[in-house]
């Protein structure tokens, strides 16, 4: 069974600092999703990474995918308070199940002023 | 363009009662998914519709859960009879044919007391 491990579970960081959230998964996949969730809101799609070596950036967030290492990272540059939210990675397109996502536990990010 | 909408946003019912959750996907999206997150657990896949057909219902926990998508537009998820362990957030998501992004609704919070 595919397992997705996300760490850290909780991240408290100061504004202006950099940090990385890690997403490891246990079986072959070439599709990795990152979502952001604010309290009581929907999961907002941030990135869809479709191939090995894929890198995407949006503002202060940058996501990458290494399918050989079965690892994706979400890097936060010069954090600001508005980035406080829960971030989820999810793996898809594995074992023929192209439409079922397996989610990580989520990382609660709190950016302190 | 309207996103994925879910109703009700919150529901509190007694054990043994019935609840029906509704999801309206993004217009034109043939793929519709149900996920849920029970307290302290990961977001888990329940099932996937393509138009009105169930493509994958491997995540449905038991026969107390019934999902329908008559006409291939909106979907309902009925829980009958509800049990305490059914409490959680039920997310609906949709994806257009050939699209990579999966769009989520805000979720329906279900509390069974």
Collapsed DSSP state (helix, strand, coil) of residue B58: coil
- Cβ separation of A45 and B35 shorter than 8 Å? no
Window from A54-58, A92-96, B66-70, B98-102 with minimum mean pLDDT: A92-96
Over 70: is that where the pLDDT of A67 sits? yes
Residue B38 confidence (pLDDT): 94
Provide the percentage of residues in chain B whose pLDDT is more than 90: 88
* Tokens found for residue A98: 């192209």
pLDDT tens string B9-24: 999 999 999 999 999 9
- Cβ separation of B104 and A99 shorter than 8 Å? no
- Cβ separation of B101 and A45 shorter than 8 Å? yes
Alpha-carbon span B60 to B86, nearest angstrom: 12
Residue A96 confidence (pLDDT): 56
Q: Compute the nearest-CA separation of A46 from chain B (Å).
A: 9
Quote the DSSP letter at residue A42: P
- What is the average pLDDT across B67-86? 96
Q: How many CB atoms neighbour CB A27 within 10 A? A: 13
Residue A51 confidence (pLDDT): 85
Mean pLDDT estimate for chain A = 91
Strand blocks (E) in chain B: 5-7, 10-13, 19-24, 31-37, 44-50, 53-56, 65-68, 75-79, 88-95, 103-104, 108-112
Name the residue facing B91 among A43, A44, A102 (closest C-beta): A43
Mean pLDDT estimate for chain B = 95
Over 60: is that where the pLDDT of A97 sits? no
Q: Which residue has the tokens 């609704």?
A: B105
A94: confidence class by pLDDT, cuts 50, 70, 90: low
């Amino acid at each position: 069974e595919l397992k997705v491990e996300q760490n850290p579970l909780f991240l408290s960081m100061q504004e202006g600092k950099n940090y990385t959230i890690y997403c490891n998964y246990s079986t072959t996949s070439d599709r990795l999703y990152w979502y952001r969730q604010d309290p009581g809101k929907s999961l907002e799609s941030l990135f869809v990474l479709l191939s090995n070596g894929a890198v995407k950036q949006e503002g202060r967030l940058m996501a990458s995918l290494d399918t050989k290492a079965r690892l994706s990272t979400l890097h936060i540059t010069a954090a600001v308070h508005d980035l406080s939210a829960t971030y989820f990675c999810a793996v898809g397109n594995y074992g023929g199940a192209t439409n079922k996502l397996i989610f990580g536990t989520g990382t609660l990010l709190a950016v302190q002023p | 363009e309207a996103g994925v909408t879910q109703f009700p946003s919150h529901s509190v019912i007694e054990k043994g009662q019935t609840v029906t959750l509704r999801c309206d996907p993004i217009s034109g999206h043939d793929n519709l998914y149900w996920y849920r997150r029970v307290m302290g657990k990961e977001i888990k896949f329940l099932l996937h519709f393509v138009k009105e057909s169930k493509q994958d219902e491997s995540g449905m926990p038991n026969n107390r859960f019934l999902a329908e998508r008559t006409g291939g537009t909106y979907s309902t998820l009925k829980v009958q009879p509800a049990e305490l362990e059914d409490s959680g957030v039920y997310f609906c998501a949709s994806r257009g044919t050939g699209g990579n992004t999966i769009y989520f609704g805000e979720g329906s919070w279900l509390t069974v007391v």
